[in-house]
Amino acid sequence: MRHQLTFLLVILLSSCAAAQKSEAYQRLAAIAEVEQKIMVPMRDGKRLATDVYRPKDVAKAPIIFVRTPYQFNGWVDGEEQERLYQNAYEAVSRGYAYVVQNERGRYYSEGEWDILGVPTTDGYDAIEWMSTQAWSNGNVGLYGCSSTAEWQMAVASLGHPALKAMVPMGYGAGVGRIGDFYEQGNWYRGGAGQMLFTSWLYHVQHDPAAPRIPEGLEQQDLLRIQRFYDMAPEYPDISSTEMLSTLPVSEIISANNGPEGIYEEMITRTPNDPAWYEGGLYHDDMPFDVPTFWFTSWYDVSISPNLALFNHVRENAESEEARDNQFLWIAPTLHCAYTRAEENTIVGERSVGDARYDYDGLIYGFFDKWLKEEDPSDIIDTLARVTYYTMGSNEWQTTSAWPPPSVEMVPHYLTSQGDANTMYGGGALVESQPTTGSQPDTIIYDPMNPVYSYGGNVCCTGDAIEGGAMDQRRMEARNDILVYTSEPFTEDTEVTGSVESTLYLSSDVKDTDLTLKLIVVEEDGAAYNLDETIQRVRYREGYDNEVFMEEGEVYKVDLTPLSTSNLFKAGQRLRIEVSSSNFPRFDRNLNTGGNNYDETESVVAHNVIHHSAEYPSVVHIPVVKKTASR
């Protein structure tokens, strides 16, 4: 038996060694000094596991810093590890040191984990350590997408002098409160819960009872044991669709035998709970003074607050230099899918054309300008402030500001004879406010039979939702979806910017949700979603107080803005869908007026959308004027 175990161990170690000696690693090791499992001390004595890849022929290199909650054990074969080596090779080949670090409490890093690696001072301390190493030129840039981007803004607010530039991509989970957006790191949208974090935490959070590496081990011991302990929990396979249907919402992870962690506390927070302001989120009352290249995408989970953050920093960064060096890029892709664009890029079911671009050239051109002290690239000196992709025309465009100065907001009023239910009804969008004849429409919303999410601006929901543009006609046959469609455009019309909507609602329940989708209807009838939003009605007057409805009263509800850029060609139509659920993209409002997160019983709502001279439900569409410059 011992011989069999020894043989198996040899096979295991050989397999691990093969992973370490992969082609990507060998290519990197040929040009880089490789140091793994450096334990970088934080101010409270906890140490964070750090790998450093630096060019062999550069005495003092600028630093690209990547901080992540995900595993990067060099002895584990897999796509993520290969990508890390490829990214490190790209940086080192351009003269940079590439430093990757696990957040506190993740894998080999010591301490207890919280989302965004609280405390935020960990990021500051890591920058301090890197910038003072003998091989560092003292300049640090932050880089990454999603979980490797979302922490950057709050750390930047601490103002370390060595932090000279940032490239956050798909960074919405780090955006707390920005203006009217109280998303709190993608946890909310319009006061309704976004379920992506429920699914993400099920597959990411480490159970406190799980085995841990003892703190205080020397680097040589960590290098040895990482060969056979990768510290990655193997979570059971589970259908996210089934899991997210569990009630109450607060027990989704525990009821499905998932890991214990921070979810059960976070789900109880309200959209403006003080706890959101104690962690690693960036809020609009925090300082910011770092040149930044922001990368976003039309089908990302939080495009509108991401754009709002760009504008906030452009207007409020502390120095003129920082304000003048904010750049924005908007691609027509899903979350963090920039480099997956192809000659014929398909997002969901819709082709958006050739959306490829030399992102490495852009990113390193930006870093060269701010981190290199000799021969910096001049690519940024000729770059427009904002570069965005217009779907429909399928072209990159540029503008001096967001939205483009040439945008004019054009109202489109909802109207019908009370028959807007389904795509076969009489719902219409008109540019003149209805004065007579328009009758209200009714949605019967049963939380136990919600409108299911189909496509959309999503991330991290497992098998529950496939993101992107999907033909919505299969959904628009439902009687609990109101459909309002414009007349065909008589000429090509570019819609670019923020879509603002106001609906007038009455209901027979204390609280409910309103959802809205923006859609382009092709001449053949295919109806592709562009963006979507939601508003929990109890928060219609703000996120500090819950204000419930009374039966018989009509309430004005302003929904959080949508964002897009799409060319509506002559013959195409604009469409708006209105409903009261978009599940599991958002959690279901059970309509009771209770906490929602700890409830299992629901009430069927009869929600009435009013559109008349007295109650003008309207959607304002940002149309680019042809005669004006951008």
Domains of the chain: 407-624 (2.60.120.260)
Tell me phi and psi for residue 538, to 5 degrees: -60, -20
**Poorest-pLDDT segment among 81-85, 121-125, 509-513, 605-609:** 81-85
Tell me what pLDDT residue 380 has: 84
Q: In this predicted structure, what is the pLDDT of residue 363? A: 96
pLDDT at site 3: 40
Rounded to an integer, the average pLDDT of 226-239 is: 85
pLDDT at 5: 37
- In this prediction, residue 30 carries a pLDDT of 97
pLDDT category at 211 given cuts 50, 70, 90 is confident
Alpha-carbon torsion, ordered 152, 158, 160, 166, to 10 deg: 20
Predicted local confidence at residue 80, as pLDDT: 78
% the chain with pLDDT above 90: 86
At 45 the pLDDT is 96
Q: According to the model, what pLDDT value does residue 430 have?
A: 97
pLDDT at 153 (0 to 100): 98
Of the candidate ranges 31-45, 69-83, 330-344, the one whose mean pLDDT is the lowest: 69-83
- pLDDT of 312 strictly over 60: yes
C-alpha distances out from residue 60 to 28, 98, 135, 334, Å: 18, 13, 5, 37
Q: Given a cut of 90, is residue 507 above it in pLDDT?
A: yes
234 pLDDT band, cuts 50/70/90, is: confident
pLDDT for 77 equals 66
For residues 281-291, average pLDDT = 98
pLDDT at 13: 39
Q: What is the largest CA-CA distance in the chain?
A: 89
Confidence band of 195 (pLDDT split at 50, 70, 90)? very high
Tell me the C-alpha distance between 523 and 525, whole Å. 5
pLDDT of residue 630: 54
Q: With a cut of 70, say whether residue 78 has pLDDT above it.
A: yes
- Tokens of residue 169, six digits: 């991509």
- Structure confidence at residue 437 as a pLDDT band (50, 70, 90): confident
Where does the pLDDT of residue 248 fall: very low under 50, low under 70, confident under 90, or very high at 90 and above?
Answer: very high
| pLDDT of res. 328 | 98
- Residue-wise over 534-569: b if at least 16 C-beta within 10 A, else e? bbbbbbbeebeebeebeeeeebebebbbbbbbbbbb
Q: Are 534 and 514 in contact (CB under 8 A)?
A: yes
- Among the listed ranges 79-83, 294-298, 382-386, 512-516, which one has the minimum average pLDDT value? 79-83
Averaged pLDDT score across all residues of the chain: 93
Q: Backbone phi, then psi, for 556, in 5-degree steps?
A: -85, 130
Element (H, E) at 602: none
Q: Name residue 223's amino acid.
A: L
Does residue 522 have a pLDDT over 80? yes
Q: What is the pLDDT of residue 377?
A: 67
**Residue 466 binned pLDDT confidence (cut-offs 50, 70, 90):** very high
Q: Is 112 exposed, middle or buried (0-12, 13-18, 19+ CB in 10 A)?
A: exposed
Q: Which residues, in sequence order, are CB contacts of 623 under 8 Å at separation 6+?
A: 407, 408, 409, 410, 493, 494, 495
Q: What is the pLDDT of residue 21?
A: 63
- Give the confidence band of 18 by pLDDT, cuts at 50, 70, 90: very low
Q: Given CA atoms 201, 204, 210, 213 in this order, what sign does their dihedral have? A: negative
Average pLDDT score over residue span 397-423:
98
- Report which of 492, 499, 525, 309 is spatially closest to residue 395, judged by C-alpha positions: 492
Question: What is the chain's length?
Answer: 630
Q: From residue 254, how far is each of 234, 291, 383, 515, 596 by CA, in Å?
A: 17, 43, 49, 29, 17
Q: What is the pLDDT of residue 366?
A: 95
441 or 434, which is more confident: 441
pLDDT digit string, tens, across residues 569-603: 999 999 999 999 999 999 999 999 999 999 999 99
SS3 for 428-465, per residue? EEECCCCCCCCECEEEEECCCCCCECCCECCCCCCCCC
Residues in CB range of 57: below 8 A, 6 or more apart: none
Given a cut of 90, whether residue 623 has pLDDT beyond it is yes
Q: Check residue 9 and give its pLDDT.
A: 37
Q: Are 587 and 539 in contact (CB under 8 A)?
A: no
User: Do 425 and 450 form a contact (C-beta atoms < 8 A)?
Assistant: no
Output the pLDDT for position 478: 98
